């Protein structure tokens, strides 16, 4: 957050990024309905009108925040044989303050809003589900993709409710290993 009274140098890219960072923070803490454009603007040290200028609407700002998270290409560029392990590590071992998890928390806190839910659905489909289905390929790719997405959402919700998933470290690692095996079986199934 920029201290009150400190003027930001005129730099469109820096201003845009400051707004995105503050929006991510507010949306993570308060969800779509709770985060106000005035709070986001104050955090970024800008006038609220600049948010509309850079992003259009609050809904479009949410979409930009969600798209600025971890790119799906990172998830699908490594070998298929390690997909289950990569996803399990991400879901179970990623520190709670990681930017990739921010998007999951924002989604969970924002789904009660009809406007946000539709934006989340479209963004999730375009940025995760469709690339996953393409990457999986084959006649059952949509079913496999939906199954993987459902498992990931379930683990994300559990993690959101209890960052350690309610386990001690040893049990959490056993959970991660079983999750990796389950996800990999879905990918490997013809």
Same domain assignment for residues 184 and 127: yes
CA distance 33 to 110: 7
* Residue of higher predicted confidence among 127 and 6: 127
Average pLDDT over residues 102-125: 89
In a domain, 184, yes or no: yes
The percentage of residues in the chain with a pLDDT greater than 90, rounded to a whole number, is: 62
Identify the domain boundary among 44, 67, 90: 67
CA distance 179 to 153: 13
Same domain assignment for residues 50 and 88: no
For 72-102, the pLDDT digits (tens) are: 567 777 789 999 999 999 889 887 666 666 7
For 144-175, the pLDDT digits (tens) are: 999 999 999 899 888 878 777 888 999 999 99
Full residue range of the structural domain in which residue 53 is found: 12-67
Which residue, 136, 125, 126, is CA-closest to 87?
136
Same domain assignment for residues 120 and 177: yes
Question: Domains in the chain: how many in total?
Answer: 2
pTM of the predicted structure, to 2 decimals:
0.77
In a domain, 130, yes or no: yes
Average pLDDT over residues 29-53: 94
* CATH number reported for the structural domain that contains residue 58 in this entry: 1.10.10.60
Q: Give the model's pLDDT for residue 5.
A: 45
Same domain assignment for residues 55 and 149: no
In a domain, 17, yes or no: yes
Same domain assignment for residues 29 and 58: yes
* Residue of higher predicted confidence among 107 and 184: 184
| Confidence bin at 2 (pLDDT 50/70/90) | low
In a domain, 5, yes or no: no
The DSSP result for 86-136, as a single string, is HHHHHHHHS-TT-HHHHHHHHHHHHTTSHHHHHHHHHHHIIIIIHHHHHHH
Q: Give the model's pLDDT for residue 98.
A: 62
How many Cα atoms occupy the beta-carbon half-sphere of 15 within 13 Å?
19
Same domain assignment for residues 80 and 47: no
- pLDDT over 60 at 8, yes or no: no
């Amino acid at each position: 957050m920029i201290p009150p009274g400190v003027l930001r140098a005129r730099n469109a890219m820096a201003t845009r990024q400051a707004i995105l960072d503050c929006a991510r923070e507010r949306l993570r803490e308060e969800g779509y309905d709770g985060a106000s454009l005035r709070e986001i603007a104050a955090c970024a040290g800008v006038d609220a009108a600049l948010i509309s200028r850079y992003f259009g609407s609050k809904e479009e700002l949410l979409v930009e925040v969600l798209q600025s998270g971890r790119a799906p290409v990172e998830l699908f560029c490594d070998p298929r044989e390690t997909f289950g392990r990569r996803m399990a590590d991400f879901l179970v071992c990623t520190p709670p303050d990681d930017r990739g998890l921010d998007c999951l928390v924002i989604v969970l806190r924002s789904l009660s809003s009809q406007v946000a839910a539709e934006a989340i659905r479209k963004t999730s489909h375009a940025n995760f589900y469709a690339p996953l289905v393409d990457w999986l390929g084959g006649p059952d790719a949509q079913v496999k993709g939906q199954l993987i997405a459902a498992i990931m959402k379930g683990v994300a919700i559990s993690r959101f409710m209890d960052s350690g998933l309610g386990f001690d470290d040893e049990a959490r690692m056993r959970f991660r290993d079983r999750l990796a095996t389950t996800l990999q079986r879905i990918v490997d199934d013809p």
